[in-house]
Amino acid sequence: MKIICIGRNYVAHAKELGNEVPTEPVIFLKPSTAVLPLPGPFVIPSFSNDLHYECEIVLRIAKKVCCIDLETATTSYDAMTVGIDFTARDVQQRLKDKGLPWEKAKAFDQSAVVGEWRPADQYKNKKDIHFCLYKNKELVQQGHTAAMINSFEAIISHVSNYFTLEPGDLIFTGTPAGVGPVEPGDQLEGFLEDDSLFDILIN
Near Zn ion by CB under 5 A, which window of 25-33, 71-79, 81-89, 185-193?
Answer: 81-89
> Of the candidates 102, 175, 182, 202, which one interacts with Zn ion according to CB under 5 A?
175
Nearest residue (CB) to Zn ion, 75 versus 142: 142
Near Zn ion by CB under 5 A, which window of 26-34, 96-104, 135-143, 174-182?
Answer: 174-182
Total residues interacting with Zn ion, rule: CB under 5 A? 3
Distance CA 63, CA 1 (A): 12
Q: Which residue is nearest to Zn ion (CB)?
A: 85
In sequence order, the 6+-apart residues with CB closer than 8 A to the CB of 65 are 72, 73, 76, 156, 160, 164, 165
Near Zn ion by CB under 5 A, which window of 83-91, 107-115, 124-132, 188-196?
Answer: 83-91
Contact in structure between 104 and 88 (CB atoms under 8 Å): yes
The pair phi, psi for residue 90, each rounded to 5°, is -65, -40
Q: What is the per-residue DSSP string for 62-88?
A: -S-B-S--HHHHHTSEEEEEEEEE-EE
**Binding of Zn ion at residue 169 (CB under 5 A)?**
no
* Shortest spacing between CB 87 and Zn ion, in angstroms: 7
> Of the candidates 85, 153, 169, 189, which one interacts with Zn ion according to CB under 5 A?
85
Cis check: omega of the bond before 41, within 30 degrees of 0: yes
- Host H or E run for residue 61: strand 55-61
Residues that bind Zn ion (CB under 5 A): 54, 85, 175
